[in-house]
């Protein structure tokens, strides 16, 4: 599971608002140009974004391995028809699946290079008022809790494997994993709630100060270029 990792890469030095702008513009360009030529250019750009965060493409893909079966099966399902396999429809769906993969890779670079508190500060800067505080708080909670829940599920699967759960029927293993996962999630939520109260959680905490630098100028120019490409 990807999480923030301290570093001194180019992506680490960028303002979180700049990285969010690049992400949004990249998504818009990917949805506007879902063609082989457009996705080729976006693939090179996604690799550059990963390199700026010093994140290996293989590590990013492995982190999103749970989404890969859906992306791979989608084109096959779309191509199946009563009159035979429609390669044209399957190819179009393959391009759409690959587009989603590129978006995930760019988001992986953001997660690896951006602290949770900076993400919250950027969201509350973009959406002022109580709504922004609520969105920022929710984002911070997700970034902190989701990796823990994934680790809990992994440990549950390892414990089940140690107890020869492979000899049980599939539906029993799925039910056991689901029940255990929900119980662990509720326990994590209770502990997280207690920790928030112990730390006097407030809607208006002192967030890190955000400031643009010269390094943000090329990234902002890239975001503007991608936004322009998405519109035309």
How remote is the C-alpha of 94 from its chain's centroid?
20
pLDDT score of 199: 63
Provide the sign of the torsion angle of the four alpha carbons 21, 23, 28, 33, taken in this order. Answer: positive
pLDDT score of 196: 66
pLDDT score of 203: 60
pLDDT score of 218: 92
pLDDT means over runs of 10, the chain (232 residues): 83 92 92 90 94 91 83 78 71 88 90 86 80 71 69 78 77 78 78 70 72 91 92 82
Place of tokens 């829940």: 149
Reduce the secondary structure of the chain to three states and give it as a string: CCCCCCCCCHHHHCCHHHHHHHHHHHHHHHHHCCCHHHHHHHHHHHHHHHHHCCCCHHHHHHHCCCCHHHHHHHHHHHHEECCEECHHHHHHHHHHHHHHHHHHHHHHHHHHHCCHHHHHHHHHHHCCHHHHHHHHHHHHHHHHHHHHHHHHHHHHHHHHHHCCHHHCCHHHHHHHHHHHHHHHHHHHHHHHHHHHHHCCCCCCCCCCCCCCCCCHHHHHHHHHHHHHHHHC
Q: Per-domain residue ranges for the chain?
A: 10-115+211-231, 122-198
Q: Is 129 left (phi over 0), alpha (psi -120 to 50) or beta?
A: left
């Amino acid at each position: 599971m990807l999480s923030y990792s301290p570093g001194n890469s180019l992506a680490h030095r960028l303002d979180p608002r700049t990285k969010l702008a690049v992400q949004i513009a990249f998504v818009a360009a990917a949805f506007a140009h879902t063609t082989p030529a457009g996705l080729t250019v976006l693939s090179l750009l996604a690799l550059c974004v990963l390199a700026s965060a010093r994140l290996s493409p293989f590590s990013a893909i492995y982190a999103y391995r749970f989404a890969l079966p859906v992306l791979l099966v989608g084109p096959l399902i779309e191509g199946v028809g009563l009159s035979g396999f429609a390669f044209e429809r399957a190819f179009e769906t393959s391009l759409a699946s690959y587009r989603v993969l590129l978006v995930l890779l760019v988001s992986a670079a953001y997660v690896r290079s951006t602290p949770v508190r900076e993400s919250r500060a950027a969201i509350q800067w973009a959406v002022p008022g109580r709504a922004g505080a609520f969105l920022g708080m929710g984002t911070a909670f997700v970034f902190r809790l989701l990796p823990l829940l994934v680790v809990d599920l992994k440990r549950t699967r390892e414990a089940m494997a140690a107890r020869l759960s492979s000899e049980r029927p599939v539906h029993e293993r799925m039910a056991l994993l689901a029940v255990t996962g929900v119980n662990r999630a509720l326990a994590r939520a209770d502990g997280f709630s207690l920790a928030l109260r112990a730390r006097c959680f407030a809607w208006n905490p002192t967030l890190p100060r955000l400031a643009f630098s010269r390094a943000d100028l090329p990234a902002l120019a890239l975001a503007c270029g991608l936004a322009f490409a998405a519109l035309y």
